[in-house]
Amino acid sequence: MRQQPELLVYHPRQAQEFAAAVRDRGYDGRIYVCSTPAEAREVIDRAEVILGVRFPPDLLPQAVRLRWFQSLWAGVESLVGGPWPTGVTLTRAGGAFGDRISEYVFGHLLWYGVGLPRAREAQRERRWQHYWTGTLRGRTLGVAGVGAIGEEVGRRAKAFKLHVWGLGRRARDLDGDAARAPAGGAAEVWERCFTPAQMPAFLGGLDYLVITLPLTPETNGMFGRQELAMLKPTAWLVNVGRGKVIDQAALEDALAEGRLGGAVLDVFAEEPLPPSSRLWTLPNAIVTPHLAGPSMPDEVVEFFFENLQRYLAGEPLDGVVEFDRGY
């Protein structure tokens, strides 16, 4: 295994923190720590590897030694457009966020699915009143996006004895109905896997829809009025992917008119969510400020180091982005 390459760590606010996490893991190569385009411009021609986010794309043509760019985020829509030098591999850190995002999803699903808000309301009123609680067991949860994050959501769902369906990009079963697990995924996670062409069958059978999709030309607006109408009026939607995957106006209407049970939303078409949005005040909408999958230095650097060992050994990297597909 060869020596560790010269590394550029780029983050507008936390470059020092990520660089410190890299050093703490025992990295003994040269590290350039940059927080501004001017700082990066001075050293961009020396770096073989970049660990960063919100990197200025106009500097990429000057990255003459660059071979690998590891994004600190799972989303890479701001990076795929390049311009990338020939031979550069871009990887996304989706595998670093599965645990946190899954806990976010099931924290909400358990709270509302079991019916605990009623107990909290009764406590505020000092009212002792028994009621039948709900359960997740036996219900059907669909995950739109069967990558690393979606797969981890599916694993947690199985632990709660839910039926777990997946929505993937390609057909993977000969009969075109129920499908096998996605290539590279865990076969025990998905009971059924659908493609976008099978959207009515997928959405119509769900009690919970969890969206973990990246934003690409194909996923932009994927869940519009027609698709939302396919869901049961009691179904809950959770979006931890990208806000523009859903037609937000159509979602607001569905929630306001009682055509959906509720929605847990961590991402939005416009962020921060404008104060004028109806989502702030709809009783069946839960709004959080894009916090489900924070980019924590220790956790992302752990993912980076696992990939670094593959890189140094000449093995395939985890999370490789296909530029023509956008993720």
Q: Convert the chain into a string of H (helix), E (strand) and C (coil).
A: CCCCCCEEEECCCCHHHHHHHHHHCCCCCCEEEECCHHHHHHHCCCCCEEEECCCCHHHHHHCCCCCEEEECCCCCCCCCCCCCCCCCEEECCHHHCHHHHHHHHHHHHHHHHCCHHHHHHHHHCCCCCCCCCCCCCCCEEEEECCCHHHHHHHHHHHHCCCEEEEECCCCCCCCCCCCCCCCCCCCCCCCEEECHHHHHHHHHCCCEEEECCCCCCCCCCCECHHHHHHCCCCCEEEECCCHHHECHHHHHHHHHCCCCCEEEECCCCCCCCCCCCHHHCCCCEEECCCCCCCCCHHHHHHHHHHHHHHHHHCCCCCCECCCCCCC
Positions marked catalytic: 242, 271, 290
Query: Can you say how many angstroms the Cα of residue 145 is from the centroid of all Cα atoms in its chain?
Result: 9
**Cβ within 8 Å of residue 130, ≥6 positions away:** none
Q: Is 294 exposed, middle or buried (0-12, 13-18, 19+ CB in 10 A)?
A: exposed
Residue that the structure tokens 């009212």 belong to: 127
Say what angle helices 148-159 and 98-113 make with each other, to 10 degrees: 40
Q: How big is the chain, counted in residues?
A: 327
Q: Which two tokens stand for residue 290?
A: 């894009």
